């Protein structure tokens, strides 16, 4: 069964449509804000999909832009309704304080990943969340959120495992994942020997999927541009907006969707691929670490 489009996907698509209509009408953001008697930032947030849309606001914008087609009106109003729905992940993050979530920020990252057709990631500290075992995920999340309760940690582990179902979708198709791991990720002991051995086995298992590619950057490669920090490039269907780069740090998350930023990180990813071992040789390296970590 196909994964439903996320509320954020609907908001981004609505924003793109509103921006198209404003541009077609020849109005600036400031002019529309004045006609709406609201702030320019409110109109901007609606156009970038960052604001939660309200029916009265969108109806007024349609009046300003002269939307006369019933088909177009129905489409815009449907996007408003869809953009106000709750995502499947929200019950798993409800009540968890909005600090660093180690790839599971309430709402936005899960929503974007839900809408993505492909994920390209470079990791130099931990295995990508879509490839983690439950024990490895629990150890990572506990280390990243030391002040959270066991219940909160458990829900975030559940969320991580739920996200992984996208790798096994059949309709319309499974999420494509290309994960590049620095060899340090395989060397670093997370959760103990048994957890690491199980994680290595999981990497070997998932790397055999047609839609999953795992490559290792060996120690002898030295430094590459990618070593400046972990990042993820989310490839989004054009009808839902632009591709997005996700960067995570102690102070929170950063999302970049400007064309120049996305192109930069795609170039960095292409650069690190040149120094990565082939998928087959990478599996051989992972197998060696399986033996090393086996209790």
Mean pLDDT of 50-56: 80
Residues 6 or more apart whose CB falls under 8 angstroms from that of 89 comprise 106, 107, 110, 111, 114, 159, 162, 163
Tell me which H or E stretch contains 180. Answer: strand 176-182
49 vs 187: CA distance, rounded Å: 40
Give percent of the chain with pLDDT exceeding 90.
48
pLDDT at 165 over 70: yes
Asked if residue 1 has pLDDT above 50, the reply is no
Model confidence band, residue 112 (pLDDT cutoffs 50, 70, 90): confident
Rg (CA), the chain: 21
CA 206, 210, 211, 215 dihedral sign is: positive
Domains and CATH numbers, the chain: 7-83 (1.10.260.40), 97-293 (3.30.870)
CA 179, CA 232: separation in Å to the nearest integer? 9
How far is Cα of residue 236 from the mean position of the Cα atoms in its chain? 10
For the chain, give the percent of residues with pLDDT over 70.
87
Stretch (H or E) spanning 214 = strand 212-217
pLDDT at 96: 53
Please report the pLDDT score of residue 85 as a whole number.
Answer: 63
Nearby residues of 147 by Cβ (< 8 Å), 6 or more positions away: none
Band (pLDDT 50/70/90 cuts) for residue 171 is low
Which of 42-51, 94-103, 195-204 is the least confident region? 94-103
87 pLDDT band (50/70/90 cuts)?
A: low
Q: What is the mean pLDDT of residues 144-173?
A: 86
Higher model confidence: residue 212 or residue 46? Answer: 212
Highest mean pLDDT among 33-42, 106-115, 254-263, 272-281: 272-281
65/10 Cα distance (integer angstroms): 20
Q: How confident is the model at residue 276 (pLDDT cuts 50, 70, 90)?
A: very high
Average pLDDT, the chain: 86
pLDDT of 32 higher than 60: yes
Q: How much is the pLDDT for 93?
A: 57
Q: At what angle do helices 55-65 and 70-83 cross, to 10 degrees?
A: 150
* Residue found by looking up tokens 């500290």 in the block: 125
């Amino acid at each position: 069964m196909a994964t439903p489009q996320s509320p954020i996907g609907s908001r981004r698509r609505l924003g793109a449509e509103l921006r198209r209509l404003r541009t077609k009408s020849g109005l600036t953001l400031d002019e529309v804000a004045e006609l709406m008697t609201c702030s320019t930032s409110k109109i901007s947030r609606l156009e970038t999909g960052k604001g939660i849309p309200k029916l009265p606001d969108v109806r007024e914008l349609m009046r300003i832009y002269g939307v006369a087609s019933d088909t177009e009106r129905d489409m815009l109003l449907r996007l408003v309704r869809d953009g106000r729905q709750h995502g499947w992940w929200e019950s798993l993050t409800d009540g968890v304080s909005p600090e660093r979530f180690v790839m599971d920020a309430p709402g936005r990252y899960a929503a974007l990943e839900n809408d993505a057709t492909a994920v390209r990631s470079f990791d130099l500290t931990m295995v990508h969340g879509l490839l983690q075992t439950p024990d490895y995920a629990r150890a990572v999340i506990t280390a990243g959120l030391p002040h959270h309760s066991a219940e909160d940690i458990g829900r975030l582990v559940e969320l991580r495992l739920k996200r992984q179902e996208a790798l096994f979708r059949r309709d319309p198709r499974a999420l494509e994942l290309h994960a590049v791991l620095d060899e340090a990720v395989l060397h670093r002991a997370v959760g103990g020997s048994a957890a690491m051995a199980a994680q290595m086995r999981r990497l070997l298992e998932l790397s055999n999927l047609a839609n999953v590619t795992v490559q290792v950057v060996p120690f002898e490669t030295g430094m590459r541009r990618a070593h400046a920090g972990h990042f993820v490039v989310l490839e989004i269907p054009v009808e839902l907006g632009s591709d997005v780069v996700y960067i995570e740090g102690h102070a929170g998350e950063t999302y970049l969707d400007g064309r120049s930023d996305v192109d930069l990180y795609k170039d960095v990813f292409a650069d690190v691929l040149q120094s990565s071992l082939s998928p087959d040789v990478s599996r051989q390296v992972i197998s060696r670490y399986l033996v090393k970590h086996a209790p």
